Amino acid sequence: MGSFYTHSPLTIQLILSSLRCNLPPLSSEYTKDVGSKSHLVTANPSIIRQRFQNLLWSRKTFVDNMKIYNHSYIYMPAFSMKTGTEPSLRVYYTLSDVGANQTVLFANPNFLRSIGKFWKSRGIHAKRLSTGLFLVSAALGLCEEVAIYGFWPFSVNMHEQPISHHYYDNVLPFSGFHAMPEEFLQLWYLHKIGALRMQLDPCEDTLLQPTS
């Protein structure tokens, strides 16, 4: 379905790794459930604009926030939309200028388009796929095993208890922007046929030891 703009060593390194979406916090209050290791982290350009003022005035704050991801790859859609190019380049130059441990990767726009067409053909009709589904799609092509956590799309869990949209906040996407229930059904099908493992309940070491 496509490829990264990168060399083959990334494929090898990602076989045993943790992939995370959109610069999530990894503070101690969350690590019991989501762990602390990271090898690849996506960064939506809108986060750079909104949380870090497009790196016009917040370069140090941004660099300090990135330290928690250690030597991770930072994966950004620099060329899939015009609005994503400037924030992505600013991230690249900001981290390069300070000699940060992170390495910025720009997603192949042909890969992103192919993924969008693939899932649309499978019945996901939305203005845009979620970052999570793009990342799972990439992981399925790169990793021998994939385990995912945090893809439950509803406001209550299976025990009818209220839960937030993300594990760290309850900021919802714009109405009609994503089709999260449709994405969940496709991922659940992949879980049922054994293509990946989806964790829905709180994690236990004996139940889930994610490789991706």
| DSSP label of 57 | S
Which of 7, 39, 159, 178 is catalytic? The answer is 178
How far from 140 is each of 25, 89, 90, 158, 190, CA to CA, in Å? 24, 27, 29, 26, 10
| DSSP label of 109 | H
Neighbours of 157 (CB within 10 A): 13
Burial of 72 (0-12, 13-18, 19+ CB in 10 A): buried
Answer yes or no: are the C-beta atoms of 166 and 24 closer than 8 Å: yes
178 is annotated as an active-site residue: yes
Q: Which helix (H) or strand (E) holds 127?
A: none
Helix 131-142 vs helix 180-192: angle between axes, to the nearest 10 degrees?
20
- Residues marked active site are found at 178
